[in-house]
Structure 1
Amino acid sequence: MAMKAQTYPSPPFSTRGLGPCELSCSYSTYYGHYHLWVFWSICGNDEVQCVKPHLVATANGALIKNKIVYFLRLLLDPLLPRFLVQFWGLVKIGNKMYLTTCDQPFALKYFGNLEVKQLCEYRKHCLDYLIPVDDDDEISVDQVQLGPPGRVFCSGLPEYTFDVRHYTRREYPQRDCAVDRVKGYWALPIYHPTQHLPSGVLEIVSTNEFCLRPNGIQAKLRV
């Protein structure tokens, strides 16, 4: 397997707006054709001081972020090209719990610049969403409107479609942005090793119709 990985100071495309603050990244290439960039925020850690405001993550949020970054670096082989993978993690605002992908790790795998542009636009659009996941009456009335990450978190079951056009806007709040940029969609619950409830959701979108190899991903998740 002709694969090499190293840390780069910056990717060959703009990362402006892909996170709330400065991003670290790593780069891998497979036979010189597939390019994988993994990004994570350097802010919000105890050792890094940042003047920008941050949402308050759950108690084990930093540990989960580190594990997700490690997992994303393993995605070069099981997933075919042209995808964005982003983690939706838990944050607390007041007494309420929400899922957000802002300030969470994500990865881009691509061939060309057009794919990067489309996937980055989708990523930026998602940063504005906070998905409520508290088990209260207001949410339980209609979980359809939570969107795929919210439904997957609450049910603990994965969700996918070959083409995001199969969703309605009510089922998938990001649909209007997604249909012009991505096609295949998959959301997977991420569980803490010692807990029965999900600790977040891994969202995978591709500029192709659904082109994932599920067995490879499931094997990685079991590691």
Structure 2
Amino acid sequence: MSKITPLTFGMSKLHIIEDRGNIIVDTGCIEEKEKYEAAFAEIGIDPKTIELIILSHGHWDHYARANELKELTGAPVLCHKNALPAIQTGKNSPMSPRGEMGKRFLELIAHELNVQMEPVVPDIVIDSTYDLAPFGVAGKIIYTPGHSECSVSVLLDSGEAIVGDMIIDSPFTNIPCLSLIVSDEAKLRDSLRTLLKTTHTFYGGHSGPYTKEVVASLIEKTE
């Protein structure tokens, strides 16, 4: 059975999935390579056993350290094809606010939106469901647009999912909410409904995990 370990680097999380093989989802941000080495050592993971680095979407706080982690692990980097314009230029995929709180949130992070990151050249580009069995993990990657048009989630056979920024703790209330940044709010809800069919635990890119009951309630409140 897969084991998920969230590690916080800067303002976002890197998730390690341990199974017959080990993979990483997202990179965290604003950390030196040595801090990754120390964090992996603390939980007993040899970086060279990492077989894949998955980028959940093209926002800088999720792919910022991809090149360093690729060098450290030797693992290929994977993203959705819609993330290419962002990560190959070191910029952000488009960001639009969800409601008034979303507007406040974009104002709060305005100084970070134009951050220029080191461009990333992915090794694997997907545009459909992607089986993780060849990397020793019982699960798959599925396309889950809504937060961005390049968002993917990792759905494990165990009923757990790593969902990037589809769900967060509000920076204003610390209460769980749907993403305050969206490309399409209806798609965001539809993507979460798809995950709810088989998922009982949702790991967010900044916070969580969340139960399926919490996620279902958040969808209902925004309809």
What is the TM-score normalised by the length of structure 2?
Answer: 0.30
Considering fraction of residues, name the structure with more helix. 2
